[in-house]
Amino acid sequence: MSDKKSKRIEMLDAMLEKGSQDPFVHYARALEDKTGGDLAAARTRFEDVAKRFPEYVPTYLIAAQTCDGLGDEEAALQWIDRGLKASEMAGDEHAKSELLAFRDEID
């Protein structure tokens, strides 16, 4: 792990320990696990993000990709369905189109 990456993780962990209620902080920490190759940890963190901040639309596509990377297509499709609902509620057509495109890739 590079120094830059470890400093990012340390900073995010410190923010989480202080009780950050910023969904991006939680999401970014999950992304660090994903990009670091720890897909199982990333999946758990994305589940936490979705539970705490169900309206945070970016979570759903990356969580679906993470589950697909773990070989769990069924879970990936469930994340996509949840993301489609969240993106519709948020009026986020871009996220909706990305979720639909990813569903087409794995279906």
Instruction: Indicate whether 69 pLDDT > 60.
Output: yes
DSSP-assigned letters across all residues of 58-89: HHHHHHHHHHHHTT-HHHHHHHHHHHHHHHHH
CATH number of domain containing 8:
1.25.40.10
* Count of structural domains within the chain: 1
Q: Is the pTM of this model over 0.75?
A: yes
Q: Work out the angle at residue 21's Cα, subtended by the Cα atoms of residues 28 and 98, and round it to the nearest 5 degrees.
A: 45
Half-sphere exposure of 2 (CA within 13 A, CB side): 6
What pLDDT, in 10s, does the model give residues 24-61? 999 999 999 999 999 999 999 999 999 999 999 999 99
Q: Residue 79 belongs to what domain range? A: 3-106
Residue 1 scores a pLDDT above 80: no
Euclidean distance between CA atoms 92 and 72, whole angstroms: 26
Measured between alpha carbons, how far is 72 from 42 in angstroms, rounded to an integer?
14
